Amino acid sequence: MADTHNVNHDYHIIDPSPWPLIGAIGGLLTAIGGVAYMRWIDGREFSIGSMDIANPWLLFVGLLIVLYTMFAWWSDTVKEAHSGHHTRVVSMHLRYGMLLFIASEVMFFVAWFWAFFDASIYAGEAQQVARSEFTGGVWPPQGIEVLDPLHLPLFNTIILLLSGTTVTWAHHALLHNERGMLKLMLALTVALGILFSYVQGYEYAHAPFAFKDSIYGSTFFMATGFHGFHVLVGTIFLIVCLIRAMAGHFSPQQHFGFEAAAWYWHFVDVVWLFLFFAIYLWGSWGATIAH
């Protein structure tokens, strides 16, 4: 009779988890708190019932709940892997989930690219009077000085391409169980990610245009800023992988956590190449360069 209770399949039913519900509550509080925070900045009320909740604290509480949920939920996933629950079938489904997540991120960037190309390609459409008033009928709009694409943007492109090389090297080292090289290449990738974020922050601080100045500024900062946020998230992802590698996690046979981080980082690389060629190079062609 005891043999009838042995697990003889590749599927794993997880234990009851509070994190989906807690994460949903945190996400709702973050969304409402974001609106309340913007109303608070403008000095306006944001009432639900008879209560004015225009303050910054609801947003911070929601973000803390979301961040803690992410930490605790992924910690449980790591424990499941160490317990042997990530069988061949489970690992395959985790990969499908990561691929679908990246596909959803692609759709986000499609929206920002669509906004940029719609504003730039049709900047001079005579029948769209309102648009011509915003752009002067040309792209970049009249009076806009653009960033030199062959200066900091090119430097950041080289940084990200190098980081893609180092994370691939780290994966190769992991497959060959070279733990020292794995840690070194992961550390280099993290350092390059931090350097990219620093350079982009410096570029933003010295940009000759602002988000609210023109449609050029709004489309530029939305596309590049959203990518910059992904670089930040990817860097944190890789830092966690580095900490796990130093703790002895991952093996040549089982290392989906590292693979997911590497896939995400390569996705960030590819998106940046599109941004560099479309927004920095093509989008600023013929405009006045701000030095």
**What is the C-alpha separation between 241 and 167, in angstroms, rounded?**
11
Say whether both 112 and 64 belong to one domain. no
Long-range contacts of 236-241 (CB under 8 A, 24+ apart): 237/261, 237/264, 237/265, 238/167, 238/186, 238/189, 238/190, 238/193, 238/265, 239/190, 241/186
Range of the domain at 37: 1-85
- Of 31, 66, 85, the residue at which a domain comes to its end is 85
Say whether both 76 and 164 belong to one domain. no
List the structure tokens of 291.
């030095």
Chain centre to alpha carbon of residue 189: 16
Say whether both 247 and 113 belong to one domain. yes
**Along the 291 residues of the chain, how does pLDDT read in single tens digits?**
444 445 566 776 777 899 999 999 999 999 999 999 999 998 888 888 888 888 999 999 999 999 999 999 989 888 887 777 777 888 888 899 999 999 999 999 999 999 999 888 876 654 454 555 556 667 888 788 889 999 999 999 999 999 999 999 999 999 999 999 999 999 999 999 999 999 999 999 999 988 887 888 899 999 999 999 999 999 999 999 999 999 988 988 888 899 999 999 999 999 999 999 999 999 888 777 877
Q: What's the CATH number where 102 sits?
A: 1.20.120.80
Is residue 30 within 8 Å of residue 62, measured between CB atoms? yes
Say whether both 114 and 33 belong to one domain. no
Is residue 54 within 8 Å of residue 39, measured between CB atoms? yes
Q: What's the CATH number where 28 sits?
A: 1.10.287.70
Residue with tokens 């991120």: 105
Count how many domains the chain has. Answer: 2
Output the DSSP codes for 149-207: TTTHHHHHHHHHHHHHHHHHHHHHHHHTT-HHHHHHHHHHHHHHHHHHHHHHHHHHHT-
- Of 85, 111, 133, the residue at which a domain comes to its end is 85
Residue with tokens 């911070």: 60
Say whether both 48 and 133 belong to one domain. no
Is residue 254 within 8 Å of residue 91, measured between CB atoms? yes
- Of 85, 109, 140, the residue at which a domain comes to its end is 85
Residue 78 CB contacts under 8 Å (≥ 6 apart), including other chains: 244, 249, 257
Say whether both 176 and 42 belong to one domain. no
Say whether both 67 and 93 belong to one domain. no
List the one residue out of 266, 251, 230 whose CA is nearest residue 178.
Answer: 251
Give the number of C-alpha atoms closer than 13 A to the C-alpha of residue 200, restricted to the C-beta side.
25
